[in-house]
Chain A
Amino acid sequence: MSIILGSISLTRFSVEGPLPDHHMEEFPERIARYAFRKLHEDSSDERAVGWVNIMDMLDSQFAAKEFFKDPYIAMSWRVDERKIPGKALKLHLREAEAEIKRAENVQYLSKARLQEIKERVRLQLLKRSIPNSSAYAMVWHLPLGVVIFGSVSSRLCDEFTEFFFKTFNLRLHTVFPYSLAHECLEDSGIQTDLLDDLHPLSFETEGW
């Protein structure tokens, strides 16, 4: 419900190329393939991402194809992440190392052994940590080929465009001032190469 409740920060994308001919049949299958799946408690995965219902981030079944909201496809991109606090990892690592040294009656552990202990402790803690869940709205106006995504983080936007491509086999391009200006001039029948003659405004030399 992030798009409905409260404020939203958004990035705009344009979709490259036309929609596939049979997208109404094709997209539900593709969405189901990339729907969100929870991290298993026993798994050592740090992250799970996938599509969920835009009105309910707990629903990834889309039993009634709720993502079709004519003329849009609207979903949320859910990201679950498990993170181990650095301090906790250090503390548990020291404990584990001390225990092994005591048990094996040695003063030092080899580099490889230390690495192996670190990995084991990290996995143990990871399984115990609760994932942090976020859902970012995605509203795709199909006829216009415009996507609104509910985040302005460049890291997330890059990851989102990759995920969108994996799902729909369509590339997204971020809208930015030049692309908008180009579109504006083209639509108005004005030469677009006029844009290339523009230079930044500078007021420093105005003799204030």
Chain B
Amino acid sequence: MALLERVRQSEFLGRDFLVWLWFKSETNGGEFDLGELGRIELRFGRKIKLQAEGDRATETVTCAGETPHMKEARFALTVDKKVTEAEITLTIGKDLWSFVLDSKWMNLKSLKTPKVMQDKNDDPEGLFYEKVFLIEKAISIVNALYFSYIKLRVSPQWSSQERPHLIRWIREGR
């Protein structure tokens, strides 16, 4: 299958992942145990972009609000709108990362890492390594979360447990 066709046909994997991640972040207090990467806290931010596609022209809804529960955005899921971008914050101890995760390419947009401690004049190489380490950490965390989702999605546990819980969560948000 040509690459672009494969990308188009499997686009839903990224979109469904963002819905699942949103659901998990709200139902487990935002805490995720990622094994070697440690325990992290993940929160959805104030902006979520949803899109409906099909026979109708593409419709995009951007929800921005103070409340983390974002009822309006959760309601949009029930009319088959899919999450295409979400603002996310990650916390490990005192360190905080924020970025917008996009469902199509799993790109991290506007990624802000914790402040780099190295001094630019004293050790420019150290500055580079520290910054790249912080960027790679965010990528590794996103990968680890996505891998948890994919393993669950292809397991029997998805239909028997996870999907019903996800549907209940959407219903509660109406």
Contacts and interface: CB of A to CB of B under 8 A. Distances in A.
Contact of A11 (B107, B136, B166): B107
B112 A7 contact: yes
**7 pairs of A and B residues whose beta carbons are closest in the complex:** A200-B12, A178-B10, A177-B14, A177-B13, A194-B154, A204-B80, A184-B147
Nearest to A188: B151
Interface string B67-84: 000000000011110100
B40 interface: no
Contact of B109 (A9, A12, A181): A9
A10 B107 contact: yes
Nearest to A10: B108
A175 B105 contact: yes
A201 B19 contact: yes
Interface string A112-146: 00000000000000000000000000010000000
A194 B6 CA distance: 15
A3 interface: yes
B132 A203 contact: no
A185 B150 contact: yes
Interface in B131-174: 131-132, 135-136, 139, 143, 146-147, 150-151, 153-154, 163, 166-167, 170-171, 174
Interface string A176-208: 111011001100101000110011111110101
Most buried by B among A54, A176, A180, A198: A176
A74 B128 CA distance: 9
A72 B132 contact: yes
B153 A198 contact: yes
A187 to B, nearest CB: 8
B129 A152 contact: no
A4 B116 contact: yes
Nearest to B131: A4
A176 B104 contact: yes
Interface string B1-23: 00100110011111111010000
Interface string B94-121: 0000000011111111111000100010
Q: How large is the interface on A (under 10, 10 to 19, 20 to 34, 35 or more residues)?
A: 35 or more
A169 interface: no
B13 A198 contact: yes
Given A11-B107, A175-B105, A181 B77 contact: no
A74 B132 contact: yes
Contacts of A177: 10-11, 13-14, 17, 103-104, 106, 146
A8 interface: yes
Contacts of B150: 180-181, 184-185, 195
Contact of A204 (B17, B79, B127): B79
A188 B155 CA distance: 13
A161 B78 CA distance: 39
A152 B80 CA distance: 27
Given A184-B146, A198-B13, A208-B171, 7 more contacts: A4-B116, A12-B105, A148-B139, A152-B105, A184-B143, A185-B151, A199-B12
Contact of B102 (A152, A188, A199): A152
Contacts of A54: 128
B131 A208 contact: no
A175 B142 CA distance: 13
